[in-house]
Amino acid sequence: MAQKTSGAVTTYRWIVFLLALGYFILEFFTTGKSDFGAQFRYLTIWGLTANLIVAGLMLRYSLGYSTRTCNAFVSASVVLGAIVVFMYWKLYFTDPKLVNGNSVTPWYQEYYLHLGSQALMMFDAFFILGAFQRIWATFVTMLIIFLGYIAWIELLVRPLNSFPEGSATSGLPYPFLNDMATGPRMVFYATTIGTAIILMLLGWGLARLIARVRPPARHEATSGTDPRP
């Protein structure tokens, strides 16, 4: 087994992985289990789970256990993280109850889940790995994630939960969704996916710009062009 990145990069990836793992485990103790789906009702936790997987994959690569970087999944996770940050803070600054209801999250947990985790992962993706090298594979992976989440909350979470309650329905994880009828919710989901596509294209453009200004290290560039996902 040969280490595939510098000691500094490997150390960084250990820190990112352990932080993500710690907060992932913490969610099992801080989220109520009485509702179907528990913490996995929330897109934020899907994002945290994706970041944990990405951190594990990158650390595995750094330690020489794999030659695959799974560039498309990493890039799709960047988009997922960007949507989590954008949507959460947009709604939070409109009214915190739109996303949190009456619950209060410790500040360190709130900022890590909705900013810190994404920033740490994006730094690796853009400046170390060299993300968005397979744009169509990234697009397909991203669609699978978002459509999978929508199907999850609409077909399972909503029918199997009675809370939160809204003026139009109940059981959807974010309070504001329960105040939207089916049609407007579908429009909201479509708009969110459209926003994700725009963010994906911006990420692709940023990755190309970074590659021109400061090309990625040889081992990352080589692995990033691996035809496998």
Give the DSSP letter string of 4-34.
Answer: -S-HHHHHHHHHHHHHHHHHHHHHHHHS-SS
Q: How far is CA 125 from CA 70, 75, 106, 225, in A?
A: 11, 7, 28, 14
* pTM (predicted TM-score): 0.89
Question: Cβ of 68: how many Cβ atoms within 10 Å?
Answer: 12
* Gap between the Cα atoms of 224 and 229, Å rounded: 9
pLDDT at 221: 39
Joined together, the tokens standing for residue 42 give: 């929330």
pLDDT digit string, tens, across residues 41-70: 999 999 999 999 999 999 999 998 988 889
Assign 225 a pLDDT band (cuts: 50, 70, 90): very low
- Cis peptide preceding 164, ω within 30 of 0: yes
Handedness of CA 109, 105, 146, 190 (dihedral sign): negative
Mean per-residue pLDDT of the chain: 89
Assign 3 a pLDDT band (cuts: 50, 70, 90): low
